[in-house]
Structure 1
Amino acid sequence: MFLISFFQEKLVMSLVVVVLLAASCRQCHALSKDGRVLLDVKRSLVDQYGALSNWNASDRFPCNWDGVYCSNSSTSRPRRVWDLNLPMKNLSGSIAPSIGRLTALRYFNLSNNELSGPIPSSIGNLSKLVFLDLTNNLLTGQIPPEFGRASNLVTLDLSYNQLTGTIPSIEILTMSGNNFTGSLPEELGQLSKLTSLSVANNALTGNIPLGLGKCLLLEYLDLSNNQFTGGLPTNFGNFLRLESVLASNNQLSGSIPDTLSSCVHLLYLQLGANRFSGSIPPSLGTIHSLQYGLNLSHNALTGNIPPELGNLLMLQLLDLSFNSLIGDIPSKLGNLVSIQIFNVSYNQLSGPVPNSSIFQRLNASSFVGNPGLCGGNLPNQCPPASKPLAAPLPPDSWQDSNVGIGVIVGIIAAVIAGAVLIILAGACWFYQRARAPVEQNPLQDNSDICFPQTGLTLTLSDIIEATDNFSDSAEIGRGACGKVYKAQISSELVLAVKKLSAAQKDSPVDHDSFTAEIMTLGQIRHRNIVKLLGFCSHQDFNLLLYEYMAKGSLGELLGSETCSLDWDLRYKVALGAAEGLAYLHHDCKPRIIHRDIKSNNILLDAQFETHVGDFGLAKLIVQESKSMSTIAGTYGYIAPEYAYTTKVTEKCDIYSFGVVLLELLTGRRPVQPIESGGDLVTWVKETMNSNPVTEILDSRMELSDFVAVDEMKLMLKIALYCTDTVPISRPSMRKVCNKMDWEASTSRN
């Protein structure tokens, strides 16, 4: 009996241990609380292509799931979900309210999907949330007022949805492309930390709040494409950090305030398509930082064009079209050496177009609608200048005239003395020049031309002869740092010669450009990077010699009305450019960031092989990122964050490459009219919201080929991925190459 009781007791104890171990084991393998929340979020989504296929309940933690990033094990136990990054995953359905239980969430990105329904108010419970991006979905309803509780929110982007109601008072506002109505709240003036405000493409009305002028940290302001009325507040001059003012396509009126000249960091001023009147303030010419554009078109401005605008040496776009401006075009505007787009059409201007190289190369469309203008490339040429000569006084009348003999003698003596001084000064100059030693450039070789690692031998005289002394007929291109000429050395050898002229040589930008191209291209050997064959550092100019590209640039081909590039060729060009950039970003030591990727810098040889060129702005990046003292690049291609932070990362190149992809797909230029959003990325996103994808594709391609159109749609997805406003969401160039290869091969199988 005792033994039976003993064994029974032992059996019970064993069963208890087994039960405890089983419970402990279940607890060991049970999914964490955050994981269960994510599975609940997944149940409310429609995952058509299996983007969330590895979200598995059998896992203990969700940290290895696609798009999920967790805290370090040393930071918290159990590990918490910090980031949820799922852009462009073809997800539909709705956002589950349970998302508010991910209390450690800091980064939340569901942009560029097809999500519908309201935004859960529970997101307001995420007190640690720093970044929220729900851009380009189909979300409806109002922005929950609970969002005001997310005290750490730094970036909030709800652009391009179908949200309604009024704009809430939140620290960071990016609400473009919705259906918001009413006026901007006066409470915006209380947001002392506000740095970015974007409410473009809504239906907002009323005046721009005066209180907004109290937001002294504001850097970016986009009010375009609404129905704002009244004037531009004069206290905008308080925005000493402001870099962009975009207020086109409204009903703003009154005069343009002089106080804008206090915005010393302003890069872009866009006030087109309003009702501004009065004259253009000459003080705008003192905003030397203006670079990306000054657009005052489609208003009711009167008076003359201020010559002071010629002081904006960095300006790339000047549009004064469709106003009532009078007088001539100031010759001082010929100083705008960086200008790429110039438009004064449809005003009441008169007189000759200034005789400077900038104006002579502009198309007549820049000046049409001004019947009084003549010269330049306009069909009506100016009449020859005729100045009547005064009849000389007869000698016997000198005594009778009011001019005394003493005065005449004095004038003659002054002329003779002046001539003697000029002769003496010239003699001194020649004497000093003869004695001065010739400046030696450290890049100069014993021969006239240095050809590293090649067997070519040429002299400077050979280059001058082959380009007909750098004549206009030999010119095949030009950029911010110089002109490019075709040099036919022999029947077998043709070179492209970039010349940095004497007028530019003293500029530190051009000296840096010359050095950058030698230092950068000197160490690169890749089939998709243009090859530097040689260079010459002369006393009067610098030369860079490259392979000649028979088909020219991609920008020139896309810009021609009879573009012969079919989709197969465009895909080949895109893949070649991607592989060239991937080599720069991943295989070079140190890494190279181009900083000026654009269609005009993508060159094509006779077989349409791609070569990335023009490394005048390239930087060797040793650290993860580097801040530049000035912004460089071309308007339409520059990544948004580069304009605000001047930090150079490879993500800037990736954004620019995305714009080039959009050019290949749409056939459009990166700069678009105001009514189309101002840039190609905005136009594409807005057009996709209300039209089939095929509406944005270039009609010059064969769009009846369904296989090709499917490939175009896949490339469009990659382009939008590359031009994401958030740098961290952009893929690396290596991933872009892999994705382009994989997507294309998938669509053809």
Structure 2
Amino acid sequence: MTPLLLLRLLCLLSLAATAAALPADFTTILAAKSALSDPASALVVWDPRLSRSPCRWPHLLCSDRSPAVASLLLSNLSLAGTFPSPLCSLESLAHLDLSYNSLTGPLPPCLAALPSLTHLDLAGNEFSGQVPGSYGAGFPSLATLSLAGNVLSGAFPGFLFDVTTLEELLLAYNPFAPSALPENVSGLTSLRVLWLSGCGLVGEIPPSIGSLGSLVNLDLSTNNLTGEIPSSIRRLENVVQIELYSNRLTGSVPEGLGALKRLQFLDASMNRLSGEIPADLFHAPSLESLHLYQNDLSGRMPATLGQAPALVDLRLFTNRLVGELPPEFGKKCPLQFLDLSDNRISGRIPAALCSAGKLEQLLILNNELFGPIPPELGQCRTLTRVRLPNNRLSGPVPPDMWGLPHLYLLELVGNKLSGTLDPIIAMAKNLSQLLISDNGFTGALPAQIGALPALFELSAANNMFSGPLPASLAEVSTLGRLDLRNNSLSGEVPRGVRRWQKLTQLDLANNRLTGTIPPGLGELPVLNSLDMSNNELIGDVPVQLENLKLSLLNLSNNRLTGALPPLLSGSMYRDSFVGNPALWRDTCPSGRRARTGRRGLVGSVTSILAVAGVVLLLVVAWFCYTSYRRQHSGHAAEPRGGGRDGSSRPRWLLTSFHKVEFDEDDIMSCLDEDNVVGMGAAGKVYKAVLGGGGEDAVVAVKKLWGDEGKAAESTGKDSFDAEVATLGRIRHKNIVKLWCCIRSGDCRLLVYEYVSNGSLGDLLHGGKSGLLDWPARHRIMVDAAEGLAYLHHDCAPPIVHRDVKSNNILLDAELGAKVADFGVARIIGNGPAAVTAIAGSCGYIAPEYSYTLRVTQKSDVYSFGVVMLELVTGKKPIGEELGDKDLVRWVHGGIERDGLDSVLDPGLAGASKDDMVTVLHVALLCTSSLPINRPSMKTVVKLLVEAAPPSPESMPKAAEQRPLDV
């Protein structure tokens, strides 16, 4: 026996002897440790060689009476594998917490026999199968049972209501088969928490629920419960929270809830409730939050609303409520959030709404309010979001309201407001969206509007503004949308518009603007819509506009002169320049030779000489290039460290994430303008055909703009770093593969797999939508949803894409979808991530993101919902055919006016209509205005798979993916 082998044997014998000397419970947990996968090495310290006092080991607590294990606290440690069965022999174990790990397999029946177990938490794992029947007959001491957030199936385990010792029962978000609650649940007299959200519950809420006198938290939300809310619920004298939202409940809100002295939160939104809101409800002395939105409630607003003593959050939007708000509403309560939108509420806005000095969000859009905005709201410095569009408000806006320091969004569209935009707006340093179109505002736009550091959208169309555009407006580098059409603005467009690098829409139509079109507009990388029609603009159409990729260009009815740039002379822009009689299309230069006379001959000679010079330069350049390649062939690694001859050849750094058969020279030789296949805010994309053959014979190369980093967020990472950090370690079939990255000074390249069918947006809206039948569109949705679900749920910590759109979903030869372009992606931890600027594209940005600058996974869900609407309707997210609405609002309006069928793509809505309607409902859920109402991407995948067309080839094959630890 060798000395080394002998040493190892001695170590093993020593360890075995040490373990054998431990009390039995600690030998048991070492056995349990060996049965678990511990990639984070969280349990490496469970080692008798490191500490001979196992009661000091982390994640466990010992019994006071003996050296036995009383508590195992193993939550959120990235543990994997199946449940470690040795734990079932710990007879002193009272508290077992294995929540939020990656444990799989069935639930262990043996746990039910543990005599001392009072707290069992297995939530947030991947346990599957049915809940063991032994759980209903065992557990002599169990007070808390949490199995939430697993993949448990079978019938809802109603037998758990037989465990009479339970104080907390948490089974939420498991895919149980549709099941009813037991008729009699009154045996759980000690039950304090009942959390059954998303459990597949059907049928009615049993009246016996009112017998649970100890209940503090009742949550039956997100099920398919029907019938009325039982009146016995008013007997829950200790209840603090009642959550019944997102069911199919009917009938009225029970009376008598005002007598519940501890009730703080009541949410019965997104049901089918009708009738009036009980007047006594606002007598509940502790009621802080009342959500009854998206029901069919009617009648007048109760006068008792003005007496509510503790109300903080009231959301009653999308009902049929009428009447006036009590004038004293807000005087006696610390109101922070009020949303009464989409009702028929009339009268004046109560002046007392901000009496407590805490009001943050005021939303009463689409009602019948009249009169002035109360001056008191101008003093409400806590306001962050004000939405009062489409009412009948009149008079001037309180001057101080323009300058509220925390205001993100001010939306007053579609009223009868008048007066001027006050220069005090310079104080609104957080203002992101100023939406005041369709009113009667007058006067000049103040120069102070250029001092707003966060302004993303200025929409002031259809007013009576006059005077010149303030030059300071060109200083607003955050501007994404500018709509000033249908005013009386005069003077020239400000110089320096090239600073608008985030601008997607510019509409200055129907004003009195003079001067020339700024050539700098052609340098705006993401400008999508440009309308300067019906003005008095003069001069040429700048050739720089050829750089833009526009869905809308309208320069008609001006005084433009000269020849149109060649790329703007085609039929695509036939109607973009009408009403400019001195402007001509230079499609056939020879047709003007008779007019040009001798100048034409001189021009021809000059052109011939110029062409000859260009040819000569190309020949010389080609000779130099081929000589260079011959001299340096066979030295692929040298460019990264410089040439052997000490020349000034660039020093490249290539970092690969997969095995590649090419080098930086192969890539650089393909960066020719003829190979450009796309251009965006971050840079150009080239198609590079390489000579190596195989899978990587064709790649896509993104070359970032040299000064791109100057616009990066304050996190210090530009889009190159973000994309490399995100994509470099991701392995998923529905996310585009990053082969490598190359950098040299300011030149930065990202080399991806080439996806042959381009983007979904180009295929869907570029005249080839006929290639996308419904099964293909559905398959694309599922593929993209699986890619996003991987980012949100399988990456640790999660990744938010932040720019989900159809142009960032690429299609391969079989029309399989891959999510691409991670230049603005963010890794997030617990809760939302704060950003300093809005990322995303017009029409796809979640409403809360644009005014809170807080990003979560639900922001991506909203954007993906818009993509789904594109595929269902065939429409773009914004466009002329939608009028002044985005796609989400257009769909809602169409459904309300003409029904669901009216918004379906008419080219597909035949035999596929029912399947399309099912997916439309999922898309509407994803684009809910409230993030909390949107499903997770994991749920979206499940819903889409369930909505698959009947043809078997349309069913995607789910690939197993390993979680990513970023």
**TM-score normalised per structure 1:** 0.77
**For the Cα contact (< 8 Å) 2:709–2:718, is it kept in 1?**
no
The corresponding residue for 1:181 is 346
Change (3 A) 1:91 1:666: farther
The offset of 1:365, in angstroms, is: 5.4
The corresponding residue for 1:416 is none
Match of 2:498 among 311, 327, 334: 334
**For the Cα contact (< 8 Å) 2:317–2:342, is it kept in 1?**
yes
**Residue identity opposite 2:301 in structure 1:** I
The offset of 1:174, in angstroms, is: 0.8
The corresponding residue for 1:528 is 734
**Residue identity opposite 1:326 in structure 2:** S
The corresponding residue for 2:312 is 154
- Percent identity reads 35
**For the Cα contact (< 8 Å) 1:191–1:215, is it kept in 2?**
no
The corresponding residue for 1:225 is 390
The corresponding residue for 2:607 is none
**Residue identity opposite 2:312 in structure 1:** V
The offset of 1:730, in angstroms, is: 2.6
Distance 2:187 2:450 in 1: 60
Match of 1:734 among 938, 950, 953: 938
Kindly provide the CA deviation profile for residues 95-132 of structure 1, in whole angstroms up to 9, marking residues without a partner as x: 33355566554443333443332222233244444433
Q: Where does the alignment leave 5 or more consecutive residues of structure 1 unmatched?
A: 1-24, 36-48, 70-76, 385-437
**Secondary structure at 1:204 match in 2:** strand
The offset of 1:575, in angstroms, is: 1.2
The corresponding residue for 1:457 is 662
Match of 2:719 among 498, 513, 528: 513
The corresponding residue for 2:869 is 662
**Secondary structure at 1:108 match in 2:** strand
Match of 1:121 among 279, 282, 295: 279
Q: How many residues align?
A: 641
Match of 2:439 among 249, 271, 274: 274
**Residue identity opposite 1:375 in structure 2:** V
TM alignment of 1:435-446, pairs within 5 A? none
Change (3 A) 1:485 1:349: farther
The offset of 1:738, in angstroms, is: 1.3
Which has the larger helix fraction?
Answer: 1
Match of 1:53 among 178, 188, 203: 203
Match of 1:481 among 682, 694, 697: 682
Does structure 1 residue 627 correspond to structure 2 residue 846?
no
**Residue identity opposite 2:943 in structure 1:** K
What do you get for the CA RMSD once the two structures are aligned? 3.8
**For the Cα contact (< 8 Å) 1:554–1:603, is it kept in 2?**
yes
**For the Cα contact (< 8 Å) 1:164–1:181, is it kept in 2?**
yes
**Secondary structure at 2:776 match in 1:** helix
**For the Cα contact (< 8 Å) 2:882–2:890, is it kept in 1?**
no
**Residue identity opposite 1:585 in structure 2:** H
TM alignment of 1:238-249, pairs within 5 A? 238-249=403-414
Kindly provide the CA deviation profile for residues 31-65 of structure 1, in whole angstroms up to 9, marking residues without a partner as x: 45999xxxxxxxxxxxxx99542744677759897
**For the Cα contact (< 8 Å) 1:554–1:602, is it kept in 2?**
yes
Change (3 A) 1:477 1:149: farther
The offset of 1:240, in angstroms, is: 0.7
Distance 1:257 1:78 in 2: 52
The corresponding residue for 1:387 is none
Change (3 A) 1:280 1:615: same
Change (3 A) 1:557 1:181: farther
The corresponding residue for 1:286 is 451
**Secondary structure at 1:185 match in 2:** coil
Distance 1:447 1:674 in 2: 48
The corresponding residue for 2:909 is 703
Distance 2:404 2:768 in 1: 47
The offset of 1:363, in angstroms, is: 7.0
Match of 1:67 among 221, 226, 229: 221
Does structure 1 residue 375 correspond to structure 2 residue 541?
yes
Kindly provide the CA deviation profile for residues 442-480 of structure 1, in whole angstroms up to 9, marking residues without a partner as x: xxx9865433222221324x3343231xx3x54333333
**For the Cα contact (< 8 Å) 2:503–2:526, is it kept in 1?**
no
TM alignment of 1:375-394, pairs within 5 A? 375-376=541-542, 378=555, 382-383=561-562
Q: List, as ranges, runs of 4+ consecutive aligned residues in structure 1 with deviation greater than 6 Å.
A: 27-30, 62-65, 438-441, 672-677, 745-749
The offset of 1:369, in angstroms, is: 1.9
TM alignment of 1:134-149, pairs within 5 A? 134-149=292-307
**For the Cα contact (< 8 Å) 1:54–1:66, is it kept in 2?**
no
Moved more, 326-335 or 448-457: 448-457
Change (3 A) 1:203 1:381: same
Match of 1:308 among 472, 480, 483: 472
Match of 1:252 among 417, 433, 448: 417
Kindly provide the CA deviation profile for residues 556-615 of structure 1, in whole angstroms up to 9, marking residues without a partner as x: 334446633333222222111111111111212332222222222222223221111111
Moved more, 239-248 or 124-133: 124-133
The offset of 1:243, in angstroms, is: 0.6
Distance 1:188 1:747 in 2: 56
**For the Cα contact (< 8 Å) 1:475–1:483, is it kept in 2?**
yes
**Secondary structure at 2:474 match in 1:** helix
**Residue identity opposite 2:439 in structure 1:** N
Distance 2:561 2:281 in 1: 67
Kindly provide the CA deviation profile for residues 6-53 of structure 1, in whole angstroms up to 9, marking residues without a partner as x: xxxxxxxxxxxxxxxxxxx9x999645999xxxxxxxxxxxxx99542
Kindly provide the CA deviation profile for residues 396-448 of structure 1, in whole angstroms up to 9, marking residues without a partner as x: xxxxxxxxxxxxxxxxxxxxxxxxxxxxxxxxxxxxxxxxxx9999xxx9865
**For the Cα contact (< 8 Å) 1:275–1:299, is it kept in 2?**
yes
The corresponding residue for 2:82 is none
**Secondary structure at 2:314 match in 1:** strand
**Secondary structure at 2:751 match in 1:** strand
Distance 2:510 2:768 in 1: 28
The offset of 1:506, in angstroms, is: 4.6
Match of 2:267 among 84, 109, 117: 109
**For the Cα contact (< 8 Å) 2:238–2:262, is it kept in 1?**
no
**Secondary structure at 1:318 match in 2:** strand
**Residue identity opposite 2:740 in structure 1:** G
The corresponding residue for 1:503 is 707
Distance 1:50 1:527 in 2: 31
Distance 1:527 1:196 in 2: 42
**TM-score normalised per structure 2:** 0.60
TM alignment of 1:332-731, pairs within 5 A? 332-356=496-520, 357-358=522-523, 366-373=531-538, 374-376=540-542, 378=555, 382-383=561-562, 449-460=654-665, 462-468=666-672, 471=673, 473-489=674-690, 493-509=697-713, 511-560=717-766, 563-564=769-770, 565-643=772-850, 645-671=852-878, 678-699=885-906, 701-705=907-911, 708-731=912-935
The offset of 1:160, in angstroms, is: 1.9
Moved more, 560-569 or 714-723: 560-569
**Secondary structure at 1:97 match in 2:** coil
Change (3 A) 1:359 1:331: farther
Change (3 A) 1:330 1:65: closer
Distance 1:109 1:746 in 2: 38
Change (3 A) 1:694 1:108: farther
Moved more, 686-695 or 566-575: 686-695
Change (3 A) 1:507 1:323: closer
**For the Cα contact (< 8 Å) 1:516–1:618, is it kept in 2?**
yes
Change (3 A) 1:491 1:30: closer
The offset of 1:723, in angstroms, is: 2.9
**For the Cα contact (< 8 Å) 1:307–1:333, is it kept in 2?**
no
Distance 2:449 2:640 in 1: 40
**For the Cα contact (< 8 Å) 1:216–1:238, is it kept in 2?**
no
**Secondary structure at 2:840 match in 1:** coil
Distance 1:321 1:238 in 2: 24
Change (3 A) 1:68 1:744: closer
The offset of 1:618, in angstroms, is: 1.8
